[in-house]
């Protein structure tokens, strides 16, 4: 008999403990489908996100590797260049997720990625700050679609027990790309500075542009669009039907339509922060999926982030303490996108708007806030910036508690319970259908209720 169903006997497998908690309930056909999705969506997503952050952060590496002197950037030109990028990035957040409801996501993202690769390459020829502002604006405009659209697609293809860890793996490539940019520029500065009469920082833009364009072309051929509109060549008709069955079972709504030593150190030292951040991002996503708690693994990273932000806010005399704070400040990155996609799963338009708005609002604030609280003239202690960051982490914790209260209240309303009760219970309800994770099995046995 053909293996096309979803459910199979509940026998906990080793895979269930280390990957998807409900792997033991899935048929071979479903596991095969998941493997194909991971090899397409995750690989393309990670490559694109890696290139996005490589091209986004190469400005910082170019700045400390000779661009500042060559372009005579003596004031806040660097901050203004970042601001132009973030303004453009914020502008296109919501429109991008609306566009992909009319245009194939694979086509749209391919055009966007090739576009930002071309404008990254073009930065190798700039001769003044005004040109830099214009090109950074264009890079931000083209890059803006990638994050919200990929998160949107992940929320459309994967189920609740699969989504957070995959979103975390996708997001992990951001700090990796940022870290790699430092190593790349260090290597470029050492080996290519002066070759063919070009400064090392110009070679960085050339190499990044050359790396980005092929990934954009691959996106067109390997991204499977959405479960309702996919024509992916690597999915069989049976696998497309199975994908639809999975998302319908989850209640996901369909689309309505289709150097010198100093220079090298300046590039390499910050990479430790991003490496630790990448590890933490995956850990929080994995634990969020494994335990079934989104709220808990949003609050824990934020609480840990208070330590680093608090240290930097008081700016102690010892360099070792400040180095610790800088290295571990990235542990506060949490799987908030996975939580948002889960909460909004039943409404396709809401899911699209929320995904893009989260990014858009972030970059809208980042566009102007650094000018006020992180001006280069206040370096290195940034007496306004770090205390503000500490306060924002506290505000984020309060906001997360508020969202959790509303989520629990909404679940009570749907069950017909009194909504004015306390909202202290977790976000995993006992009435949810579907297979239990190994953690749930253990808790049930321990309580004597399984």
- Provide the angle, in degrees to the nearest 10, between the axes of the packed helices 77-91 and 348-373: 170
Bridge partners of residue 7, in order along the sequence: 26
430 within a domain of the structure (yes/no): no
8 within a domain of the structure (yes/no): no
pLDDT tens-place string over residues 221-265: 999 988 888 889 999 999 999 988 888 877 655 554 434 444 444
pLDDT beyond 60 at 429:
no
2 within a domain of the structure (yes/no): no
374 within a domain of the structure (yes/no): yes
436 within a domain of the structure (yes/no): no
- Provide the angle, in degrees to the nearest 10, between the axes of the packed helices 319-328 and 271-291: 50
pLDDT tens-place string over residues 342-392: 787 777 667 667 766 676 676 666 656 665 676 655 667 777 778 888 898
Whole-model pTM over 0.85: no
Whether 209 and 117 have beta carbons less than 8 Å apart is answered as yes
**pLDDT for res 363:** 60
Reference 145, options 104, 206, 204; nearest CA is 104
- What residues have CB less than 8 Å from 436, skipping those under 6 apart? 10, 22, 444
pLDDT tens-place string over residues 135-150: 999 999 999 888 888 8
Q: What are phi and psi of 101, to 5 degrees?
A: -85, -5
424 within a domain of the structure (yes/no): no
Q: Report the alpha-carbon distance of residue 153 to residue 41 in Å, rounded.
A: 8
CA 164 distance to own-chain centroid: 11
48 within a domain of the structure (yes/no): yes
9 within a domain of the structure (yes/no): no
If one counts the domains in the chain, the total is 1
**Domain that includes residue 74, residue range:** 28-416
pLDDT tens-place string over residues 280-317: 877 887 788 788 788 888 889 889 888 988 888 888 87
CATH number of the domain enclosing 46? 1.20.1250.20
């Amino acid at each position: 008999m053909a293996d096309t169903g979803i459910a199979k006997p509940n026998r906990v497998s080793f895979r269930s403990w280390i990957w998807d908690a409900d792997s033991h309930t899935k048929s071979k056909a479903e596991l095969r489908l998941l493997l194909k999705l991971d090899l397409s969506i995750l690989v393309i997503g990670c490559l694109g996100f890696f290139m996005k952050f490589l091209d986004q952060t190469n400005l910082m590496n170019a700045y400390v590797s000779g661009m500042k002197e060559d372009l005579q950037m003596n004031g806040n030109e660097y901050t203004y260049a970042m601001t132009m990028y973030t303004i453009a990035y914020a502008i296109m957040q919501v429109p991008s997720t609306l566009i992909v409801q009319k245009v194939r996501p694979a086509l749209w993202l391919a055009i966007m990625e090739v576009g930002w690769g071309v404008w990254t390459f073009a930065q190798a020829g700039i001769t003044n700050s005004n040109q830099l502002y214009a090109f950074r604006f264009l890079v931000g405009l083209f890059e803006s679609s990638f994050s919200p659209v990929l998160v949107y697609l992940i929320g459309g293809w994967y189920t609740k027990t699969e989504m957070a860890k995959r979103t975390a793996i996708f997001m992990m490539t951001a700090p990796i790309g940022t870290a790699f940019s430092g190593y790349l520029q260090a290597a470029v500065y050492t080996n290519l500075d002066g070759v063919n009469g070009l400064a090392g920082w110009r070679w960085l833009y050339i190499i990044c542009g050359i790396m980005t364009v092929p990934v954009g072309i691959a996106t067109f051929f390997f991204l499977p669009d959405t479960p309702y509109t996919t024509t992916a060549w690597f999915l069989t008709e049976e696998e497309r039907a199975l994908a639809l069955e999975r998302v319908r079972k989850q209640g996901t709504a369909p689309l309505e339509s289709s150097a010198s030593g100093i220079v090298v150190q300046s590039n390499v030292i910050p990479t430790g922060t991003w490496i630790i951040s990448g590890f933490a991002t995956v850990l929080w996503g994995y634990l969020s999926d494994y335990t079934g708690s989104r709220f808990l693994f949003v609050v824990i990273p934020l609480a840990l982030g208070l330590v680093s932000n608090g240290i930097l806010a008081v700016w102690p005399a010892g360099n070792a303490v400040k180095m610790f704070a800088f290295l571990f400040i990235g542990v506060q990155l949490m799987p908030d996108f996975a939580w948002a996609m889960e909460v909004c799963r039943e409404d396709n338009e809401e899911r699209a708007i929320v995904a893009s708005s989260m990014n858009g609002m972030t970059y809208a604030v980042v566009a102007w806030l650094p000018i006020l609280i992180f001006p280069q003239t206040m370096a290195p202690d940034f007496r306004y910036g770090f205390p503000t960051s500490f306060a924002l982490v506290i505000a984020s914790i309060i906001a997360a508690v508020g969202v959790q209260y509303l989520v629990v209240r909404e679940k009570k309303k749907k069950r017909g319970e009194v909504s004015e009760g306390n909202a202290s219970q977790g976000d995993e309800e006992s009435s949810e259908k579907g297979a239990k994770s190994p953690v749930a099995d253990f808790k049930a046995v321990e309580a004597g209720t399984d």
